[in-house]
Amino acid sequence: MSRRIRFRFSSGIEAVGVIKDEKAAEELLKNSPFESTANRWGDEIYFELPFDLGLKGERVVMKVGEIAYWPEGNSLCIFFGPTPVSRHGEPRAISKVKPVGEMVEGLDDLNMIKQGEKIRVEVEG
């Protein structure tokens, strides 16, 4: 079962995604809402989770708008363009991530998010 996930940044920007991975959706819902700090790595936003999703990474080449779990950093990542390790302009993770969903609203606004912004994450039950 998929769940809507809302990202509210301290700058006032909001974005919405859908978590399609059932295990990730359950864990995120169980721990919602929670807060973290946004990090920028090129056109990727990632933030540490206050709990472990327990998922394994699968791939590094991503699609614009994908949401993924990064096991090595225990972080959720949102890909919206090239990163420092991209080739041919595609989003690329630094190491294997597990795709868990996709953005459905506010993707274009993510470019305005600054390093260190606070983020509140809410999963709709």
pLDDT digits (tens, 9 = 90+) for 12-57: 999 999 999 999 999 999 999 999 999 999 999 999 999 999 999 9
pLDDT single digits (tens) 71-105: 999 999 999 999 999 999 999 999 999 999 999 99
Q: How far is CA 43 from CA 19, 26, 83, 125, in A?
A: 20, 27, 5, 29
